[in-house]
Every structure is written in structure tokens, then in C-alpha cells.
Amino acid sequence: SQQGEEDPQALSIQEGENATMNCSYKTSINNLQWYRQNSGRGLVHLILIRSNEREKHSGRLRVTLDTSKKSSSLLITASRAADTASYFCATDRNTDKLIFGTGTRLQVFP
């Protein structure tokens, strides 16, 4: 079964609002990454957080990791219409393999 599951499955917000997506996983991990996928395109890496980190920032993105709860969240602040995409978390466990979650479809309305 898939390692990660995101919620919500879909999220609709207005431009300027913040978007929060959550990812839960089942087993211990080394690192957790977030990727974005625009419709009809490949995935694009956003940010990587290591298991010994609790929070990481990159521009308008903020990622948190709670290894005790086996969960992570991705916050996009001041969202824009261009942020409309699907967002996936991906985990690895000391191997080269990434296990992707089910994704959250984000729609940002102008």
C-alpha cells in the first residue's frame, strides 16, 4: 500500500488565502519531500525535509514534520492562481526509492 496519504483530496481557495495540505505516512522515514504536478505535466520538486528537522521554509512554502505523529504539512501562503496544481508528499527509508502519496488537488480562484 502507499506510504503517504494526503488530505484533503481536493482544496479550493481564493487568491491571497493560505492553503494547507497534510500528509500521513505509516512507517519510519529518512526524509520527506513535497512535489507539485501541474495538469498534464511531470512532477516538480518543491522541498525536502529530513527526519531530524521539524520545520523548513522556501519562499511562500512552509513544511512541518512531526515524526511522532508520522505526519507532515505543506503550507502555501498568499496563494496565487498559478499555484493551482496537485501536490504530493514522498517518503524514503534509507533507499533510493520514493513512495508517493495520493495527492491533494489545489484549485486557486482569481
Partner 1 sequence: DAGVIQSPRHEVTEMGQEVTLRCKPISGHNSLFWYRQTMMRGLELLIYFNNNVPIDDSGMPEDRFSAKMPNASFSTLKIQPSEPRDSAVYFCASSPRGGPDTQYFGPGTRLTVL
* Binding footprint of partner 1 on the chain (CB under 8 A): 2, 30-31, 33, 41-45, 48, 50, 88, 92, 95-103
Taking the complex as a whole, how short is the minimal distance between the CB of residue 58 and partner 1, in angstroms? 12
Task: Decide: 53 and 65 in contact? Cβ < 8 Å.
Answer: yes
Taking the complex as a whole, how short is the minimal distance between the CB of residue 88 and partner 1, in angstroms? 7
Taking the complex as a whole, how short is the minimal distance between the CB of residue 43 and partner 1, in angstroms? 5
The secondary structure of residue 30, as a DSSP letter, is S
Choose between 13 and 51: whose C-beta lies nearer to partner 1. Answer: 51
Choose between 19 and 43: whose C-beta lies nearer to partner 1. Answer: 43
Q: Which of 65, 60, 25 is nearest to 48 (CA)?
A: 65
Which positions ≥6 away from 97 have C-beta within 8 Å?
Answer: none
Q: Which of 73, 68, 66, 65 is nearest to 23 (CA)?
A: 73
Choose between 44 and 81: whose C-beta lies nearer to partner 1. Answer: 44
Q: What is the largest CA-CA distance in the chain?
A: 42
Choose between 14 and 30: whose C-beta lies nearer to partner 1. Answer: 30
Taking the complex as a whole, how short is the minimal distance between the CB of residue 92 and partner 1, in angstroms? 5
Q: How far apart are CA 92 and CA 49, in angstroms?
A: 11
